Structure 1
């Protein structure tokens, strides 16, 4: 079985979209000699991908809850700056008796704080699961031998990246990550735009880390990692 990215199949779809034209487009795309295919992930990789995406969802829900609480309390005269660092001021105001907050507002504020604390607990539990999974995977352990690569980073590479042996050089890995400018070249003139956004977004890693890692791979450390 081979998987084709939908964006590569779309150019072969003729006019109206239905099952027949979709099947024809998939067949035409699969027969192209230069077609690129997705690597089929193992069940373990799919489970770890769910772990990363669940954590990402919880991390994204935290600022939503904090900002909602800030907005509600601001209408009652209690203003706090943005960010989790200023949440304690709101929590103290809800728990204390020195602020003139309505009893219903205090009760709802405690509900918000409970939800935020629950999200913090769940994120911490998922972080522990990631560290545990990083200790069990052999490739992840070898990747951590590179200076600066922490367990979660190594686990994300093993989960979302293709087999590193398929990359001929480090710059190919950087291109896969999306660390390349978008091209609008024509007529023999190279026109490069901003950095491409065609990248894997689930790993949760900064571009600077990805660029650093790709440079380490291009320096020949890949062979040592793969060889063990």
Structure 2
């Protein structure tokens, strides 16, 4: 497969993948179980992987970077305008793939595990206060 950009929609058990080539033609559109995600991306040549920024996207971003992919996290508010039809996982993955390819898109930096741990401590403290 000659995939240039992948949109990955994260969920609890089933992840949706939408991949396009350099010309924008759809190359892959499939559903993956959580356990199969790393094996799928390990088989791919390094490409740009886009995800909506959330708590688990930082973990997946770190794991996919280890496999050599370029990972870009996008705030969900910037993905929403690219959803073409009803909100489904497949439509979200396609919208993420489209948004990642935009030249002036703003991306969220991937947090390290220590940064995420510190954020959870701050949130727990704020809840107690």
TM band (smaller chain):
0.3 to 0.5
Q: Greater share of helix residues, 1 or 2?
A: 1
Structure of greater relative contact order (alpha carbons < 8 Å, 6+ residues apart):
2
TM-score by length of 1: 0.25
Q: Which has the larger radius of gyration?
A: 1
After TM superposition, the score normalised by the length of structure 2 is 0.44
